Structure 1
Amino acid sequence: MTQNCDIVISGGGIAGLTAAAAFGSAGFKVICVDPAPPITDGAAEGADLRSTAMLQPARALLERAGLWEALAPHAAPLQIMRIIDAGGEEPEARVIREFDAADISEQPFGWNFPNWLLRREMVARLDSLDTVDFRPGVGTKSVFTRTTGAKVTLSDGTRVSAPLVIAADGRNSPVRQAAGIAVKSRRYGQKAVVFAVTHPIPHENVSTEVHRTGGPFTLVPLPDRDGLPCSAVVWMDDGAQAEARMELDVPAFEEAASRRSCFHFGPLTLVSARQIWPIITQHAERIAGERVALIAEAAHVLPPIGAQGLNMSLADIATLLDLAEARREGLGDADMLEAYHRARHGDITLRVNGIDLLNRASQASAPVLRDARAAGLNALYSAAPVRRMLMQMGLGTR
């Protein structure tokens, strides 16, 4: 027996859950599947300890999806983006520049959330929607498409018929592969160690990137923990060095992290487990195929710089939702998916290339290249129109 719905979403990560909430809230009948049930407790084994900065444009989509009201009490506002160049002989700040959201908006740049908390609130939202059938522990086994619709076979043997399949199933997306869509990848030899810390000096809602070599050391504000200021950290570096740091005992790791942060917020105290992630750039040659739309890491993977990754994913969802609502009778047809590709592909390409350049600059090890990076930061910051334009581009409002 075949089940019917409007949209099958393959993948129940943050992007897939957001898409399910957004399309379900708009009245579409959605089945969302993921082979790995979401972990919604930050203390549970396997919890995603990373954090995500939802930039200004994301709020409108979260409101449409019925998610913002539940998330708002947990938001850590990002009012200032601070960039520190510490590329001199000693690991200490030599150039500090701050990009203030007040220069371009009455709102902060965005709001930071722990990833496990996002999953918790998103799963709760899906539970409240009669239009969404979320099936954790079930994956997509096969996808067969034709001009009139798609047939999806799930890992539990269920068959589903739908006019549109959304691939939110990660960088190795089985749905993308079934659609025959190729990807282009770049590797940097980097890995990122992610963890949370407390520190004695308040972060004052400032997201801070410290550049020296190997990649940025980024501290993103989180709500206070046990009465102390708290930040999520992404420490990018050469893969071998990142692996070695995973083996350090806690005091040695805290000392190394504090030094790499230039003690900007004082000594750092580890308050979470450490996780490690490979750093790559990848983007699909097309983000749509027959009856298939790619979003999130199925469409693009970026180094964690400038909070672009998930916010590009949310832009994918918002664009696809607008097109779906405008042509419900033609949901998933060739015209709709071609319009989706045209609307998103250029922006994705621009941001993929821009983040690639920034990451390569952050890896610089030669003193002359680090000096050039510091000079470039000064030049960009000193020209007020350029500074405002860069902030608007980073938000996706220009």
Structure 2
Amino acid sequence: MDHDIVISGGGIAGLTAAAAFAHAGFDVLCVDPAPPVTDAKTEGADLRTTAFLQPARMFLREAGLWPGLAPFATPLEVMRIVDAGGETPEPRVIKDFESQDISDEPFGWNLPNWLLRREMVTDLQKLERVTFRPGTATTSLFTREGEARVGLSDGTRVRCRLVIAADGRNSPMRQAAGIGVKTTRFGQKALAFAVTHPIPHGNVSTEIHRTGGPFTLVPLPDRDGRPCSAIVWMEEGPKAERLFALDDTRFEAEMSERSCHLLGPLTLASRRTLWPIIAQEAERLSGQRLALVAEAAHVVPPIGAQGLNMSLRDMTVLLELANAAPERLGDAAMLDAFERRRMPDIRARVAGITLLNKTSMISAPALRDARAKALDALYTLKPVRKTLMQLGLGAG
């Protein structure tokens, strides 16, 4: 064999998987068609952020990645849900879900995606068991009972025991294996960017619901002496495109109004990026000698910090199975067990987040009123509130 594992995809999920399996003693090749963009000012930089919830941080520690990330992480102590669905963009219901109700630690820790790639690539370069080849794509997959053969864009072919597809929602490896997907389109797009503001965020992540989708402010470290947050602003596609095209002054006015001025006037601190919003799940999580993880397996709207945290749960299970019987890496029994353990959670979370997103999009006044009452009722019942927070962290 050339390698124990070939990972298709060098995004955050793929880089994390490479480090985790290398630390566990497996020989790993990780490839990606594009070199990672590791500077926020470079064209193509991913300006979104990722909130690593408690179980995800534990996995990053085991993979040896957390020490390099911790100095840049902003803790999330409170998840604030705001309903602003009245006639004017003003808060009607504000509810704080506090981490101290269920844990001595924050819910999670937030980091910019471009910075995650920078630090993870730096760490991978120190690992003898990882070969990282950015600028190289997977082009073909041939499997048999005992091995997989992966064709690469440089004309070579490598043999391995397991292929991990971490190559995105349009996964070439998933397509090569003939695994279909179920896709839900919401007609939404998300604007992602960073802002500064005069009122400190206090390590509170704030999700404001009105129409079109949530407007979420996630804490970042101060920038130039001013409090700073990352924003994901979801809207119906045509409105999102109109907002994206506005000049900075008009855009700042609109986003400040949409934020209900909770942190004061917002000032752009980065360029804007635009992303389509879908929900998607693969029909299967595995094929012969192939495991699907991250967006190759599931895509959800950016609500409740579930996306990448679901991905790290995929890898946690896969790594547990690999460590339990290294000699059976990539065989049918291991991959069947992976599918059985992950598929129920994936289906439940994709369905739940899809429902939450549709609820956040409603525009009819009566339904907006019902949404506000439901939030108030759920929060008031302390056992329900604690259960929802625990489920959000991945319990259950």
Matches within 5 A, 1:1-398: 4-398=2-396
In structure 1, how many angstroms separate the alpha carbons of the residues matched to 2:253 and 2:22?
A: 47
Deviations 1:183-213 (Å, cap 9, x if unpaired)? 1010010000010000000000000000000
- What is the rounded CA distance, in whole Å, between the counterparts of 2:15 and 2:53 in structure 1? 18
Q: Following TM superposition, by how much is the alpha carbon of 1:285 offset from its aligned partner in structure 2, in angstroms? A: 1.1
Q: Normalising by structure 2, report the TM-score.
A: 0.99
The Cα shift of 1:179 comes to 1.0
One-letter amino acid of the counterpart of residue 312, structure 2: L
Whole-Å separation in 1 of the counterparts to 2:207 and 2:58: 27
Three-state SS of the structure 2 residue aligned to 1:107 is: coil
Map Cα deviations across residues 210-245 of structure 1 (whole Å, 9 max, x no partner). 000000000000011001110000000000000001
What is the distance in 1 between the residues matched to 2:263 and 2:358? 26
> What are the Cα deviations for residues 321-369 of structure 1, in whole angstroms up to 9, with x where unaligned?
1111111101000000000000100000000000011000000000001
Residue 157 of structure 1: CA displacement? Answer: 1.1
Q: Give, in angstroms, the shift of residue 98 of structure 1.
A: 0.3
Query: SS at 1:242's partner residue?
Result: helix
Structure 2: stretches of 5+ with no match in the other structure:
none
8 Å contact 1:246–1:274 — kept in the other structure? yes
Distance of 1:10 and 1:125 partners within structure 2: 18
Quick check: 1:144–1:152 contact (8 Å CA) kept in 2? yes
Q: In structure 2, what is the Cα distance between the partners aligned to 1:352 and 1:141?
A: 29
* Secondary structure of residue in 2 paired with 1:129: coil
Distance in 2 (CA, whole Å) between partners of 1:195 and 1:332 is 40
CA distance in 2 between partners of 1:216 and 1:353 (Å): 17
SS of residue matched to 1:43: coil
- For 1:138 and 1:118, the matched residues in 2 are separated by 20
For 1:325 and 1:38, the matched residues in 2 are separated by 29
Provide the rounded CA distance (Å) in 2 between the counterparts of 1:359 and 1:92.
Answer: 20
Instruction: State the shift of 1:159 in Å.
Output: 1.1
Note the C-alpha offset of 1:166. 0.2
Work out the CA distance in 2 between the residues paired with 1:144 and 1:97.
52
For 1:268, give the aligned amino acid: L
Residue identity opposite 1:261 in structure 2: S
Q: Secondary structure at the match of 1:197?
A: strand
SS of residue paired to 2:128: coil
Gapped regions of structure 1 (runs ≥ 5): none
Query: Normalized against structure 1, the TM-score is what?
Result: 0.99
Separation of aligned partners in 1, 2:208 and 2:328? 48
Identity of aligned residues (%): 67
SS of the residue 2:304 aligns to: coil
Work out the CA distance in 1 between the residues paired with 2:289 and 2:36. 27
> How far apart are residue 25 of structure 1 and its match?
1.1
Q: CA deviation at 1:43?
A: 1.6
- The aligned amino acid for 2:38 is T
- Higher alpha-carbon deviation: 181-190 or 39-48: 39-48
What is the number of equivalent residue pairs in this alignment? 396
* SS of match in other structure, 2:338: helix
Take 1:90 and 1:83, find their aligned partners in 2: how far apart are those partners?
A: 17
The alignment partner of 1:97 has SS state of strand
Preserved CA contact (<8 Å) 1:218 1:233: yes
Letter in 1 for 2:248: V
Secondary structure of 2:356's aligned partner: helix
What amino acid is aligned across from residue 124 of structure 1 in structure 2?
T
CA distance in 1, matches of 2:39, 2:183: 33
| Secondary structure in 1 matching 2:387 | helix
Q: Does structure 2 retain, via aligned residues, the 8 Å contact 1:57–1:397?
A: no
